[in-house]
Amino acid sequence: APLPSLPLSPQAAMTKLGQWLCGLALLGSAWAALALAPPGLQVPTPLRQALLPLPVYLLVAFGCYSLATVGYRLATFNDCEEAAAELQEQIRAARADLARRGLRL
């Protein structure tokens, strides 16, 4: 018989930040274990030379990905004509109300 699953509370569920931090900790510890070459572990020189700058390469790649994502989302951002018209009307109403109360803009 299958075990009943317990509902997770919102506090128990791992957030996206927690998932990213766990992944980074796992990758960072694997990188450190290989790059620092503890006694008894012989890492070939070409591999070690490729491992040492790897975090910098990953950081640059992440920056490029982030910049491309922001640029794409900005380029495909939807205009909300109805919301803009509604906001302009609310601004006009607020200005009229303030003018009625004696405030000059």
Q: Sketch the domain layout of the chain as residue ranges.
A: 13-52, 54-105
Decide if pLDDT at 103 tops 90. no
Crossing angle (nearest 10°) for helices 54-75 and 16-35 = 150
Q: How many CA atoms lie within 13 A of 51 on its CB side?
A: 17
Output the CA torsion 10→16→21→26 (10° steps). Answer: 100
Quote the pLDDT of residue 54. 92
Decide if pLDDT at 27 tops 90. yes
- The closest alpha carbon to 62, from 19, 102, 24, 7, belongs to 24
Quote the pLDDT of residue 6. 61
Decide if pLDDT at 9 tops 80. no
Quote the pLDDT of residue 78. 86
